Amino acid sequence: MNIGVLALQGSVAEHLKLITSVNKKIGAVPVRTIDELATVDGLIIPGGESTTLRKLMDDFNLYTPIRERIVAGMPVWGTCAGLILLADRIEGERPYFALLDVDVKRNAYGRQADSFVAEGDFAGMYINMVFIRAPMITRVGGGVDVLAEHNGTPVAVRQGHILATSFHPEMCPRDSRVHKYFCNMVESKE
């Protein structure tokens, strides 16, 4: 079984390493092409710059194949910019995949210099949460479960096979528990 990391821009290597560390049954592969996408059972859309990522996905003709796989039930996890790309609504912008029933506001936690680490509960696990120019989730739809909050605002959500975090678990290289959570989503899909 393989989990892909969309490898056009952003924190790709960190995600690949953490997925590889979870267990031997799951491989981690960078995804840049339609053929590579076809080899994976789940996909991580990493943090980076959502405007750049959407442009590159368009340029690499990945929008439709990725969207079709997600609609067909492939587990997907968007971190930070990835969350923005999955959201139904982006304040002041056209949405991209629009498959996750939340609204987001880009850069709502401040600039790069305002990056911070918080601690909190994620689906029953106490973890560190790294925020880097993170989007804020400003509305959560009825079918969406909130897995983590920061100061009363949702920062991790799940809608069936779609997981999204406004923070960066891959920036905590010694803690693979959120990656393990996503691996479980992919394994239980089979």
Binding site for ligand GLN (CB under 6 A): 47-50, 80-81, 84, 106-107, 132-133
Q: Which of 150, 161, 168, 179 is catalytic?
A: 168
Residue number, 108 or 146, with CB nearest to ligand GLN: 108
Give 2 or 9: the residue with its C-beta nearer to ligand GLN. Answer: 9
Q: In the complex with ligand GLN, which residue's Cβ is closer, 41 or 165?
A: 165
Q: At what angle do helices 12-22 and 177-189 cross, to 10 degrees?
A: 70
Tell me how far apart the alpha carbons of residues 54 and 56 are, in angstroms, rounded to a whole number. Answer: 5
Q: Which of 14, 15, 80, 161 is catalytic?
A: 80
* Rg (alpha carbons) of the chain, rounded to whole number: 15
45, burial (CB in 10 Å: exposed 0-12, middle 13-18, buried 19+): buried
| 3-class secondary-structure state, position 48 | coil
170 is catalytic: yes
168 is catalytic: yes
CB of 184 to ligand GLN, least distance (A): 24
The residues annotated as belonging to the active site are 80, 168, 170
